[in-house]
Amino acid sequence: MKKNFVFMISRIFISIAILGILIYYVGIKQILETFVSMKKVFLIPILILHIISLLIGALNIKILIKKIKNKLSFRKILKYYLVSWSIGSIMPGKIGEFSILYMLKKENISYGQSLAITMIDKIITIIVLSITAAITIIFLTEVKNFYKPIIFVVMIIIFLIALKAKIVRDIIKRIMPKKFADKFKKFNKTLNFFIKNHKKELTINFVLTIIKWIITGLGITLLFFSFGFKTNPIIITAISMSLTIISLIPITINGIGLRETAAVYLYSLLGAKPEVVISAYLVMTVITYVFAIIILSKRKLIS
């Protein structure tokens, strides 16, 4: 427990340090001037796109859960999804997103089943993001050893195959504490259930995930437009997806600091000024936190 606390504090410190150095390097005055110059009229469509993205995220979970418990309404799943997303946005490492497991337990969906559904959704998301990140790195930078991100994608696919392999399942069962054995059985059973019988639902989830990130990318594109920087929305979407992968590196709080530093570099390849990039991502962070706080303050969502 103490070790986890120290690790969390160190990540907070690293996030603040990296972001602080970046802001100092770019210039506080330049960032403030850029921040103030934002055209506020863009905020409305940005917020609408953000809401649509969250709705699609909940729909992805609904599509998978439907095959286990058909009677669970989309409205209820949306409530659970929004709460877990909000907790994940605030807590380090987005671990809070797994809080949906506890909420689904109230609907008589076992931890093993809900964990399988959550992991399937996240693995599909990581695959989509990883492929996009690999393509972005290859075409936007002069990296010669572009095989590295491709290997990363291949490793994820191997992981998916490994989950089906009997030998891997047996090893996991042996090292897993007995009290979690039953949960793993249900997790494994649910995972195989979807892979064998519901490829259609997995494909729909994959397509919706792509649509979700395109919408997110459009929101970020409008955010840059609000600061006067205009470029191809497809490229901005690709970069934003790549930055999400970078933010998963567990040395800062939800990628804060690392994400902004990488963003300054990648967008500079398109001619964007550092102060514009930082201002855009600070606004995006504020929007995320405001949404999360508003959702968590509404007790009716978890009633």
Return the pLDDT at 93. Answer: 57
What average pLDDT does this structure show over 220-249? 85
Neighbours of 181 (CB within 10 A): 12
Q: Which of 155-164, 170-179, 256-265 has the highest mean pLDDT?
A: 256-265
Longest C-alpha distance within the chain, in Å? 59
Return the pLDDT at 59. Answer: 94
Tell me 249's DSSP state. Answer: S
Number of compact structural domains in the chain? 1
Residues 6+ apart with CB under 8 A from 142: none
**Amino acid letter, residue 171:** I
Return the pLDDT at 172. Answer: 47
Q: In this prediction, what percent of the chain has a pLDDT beyond 90?
A: 16
Spatial contact of 258 and 16, defined as CB atoms under 8 Å apart: no
Least trusted range by pLDDT, from 46-50, 80-84, 169-173, 257-261: 169-173
- Indicate yes or no: pTM above 0.85: no
pLDDT digits (tens, 9 = 90+) for 107-156: 888 777 788 788 888 888 888 887 777 776 666 655 445 455 555 555 55
Return the pLDDT at 104. Answer: 84
Return the pLDDT at 179. Answer: 47
Return the pLDDT at 114. Answer: 80
Residue 219, token pair as written in the block: 């929101």
**Mean pLDDT of the residues in the chain:** 78
Return the pLDDT at 154. Answer: 53
- pLDDT-derived band of residue 257, with 50, 70 and 90 as boundaries? confident
Spatial contact of 195 and 164, defined as CB atoms under 8 Å apart: yes
Spatial contact of 272 and 224, defined as CB atoms under 8 Å apart: yes
Domain span at 226:
2-302
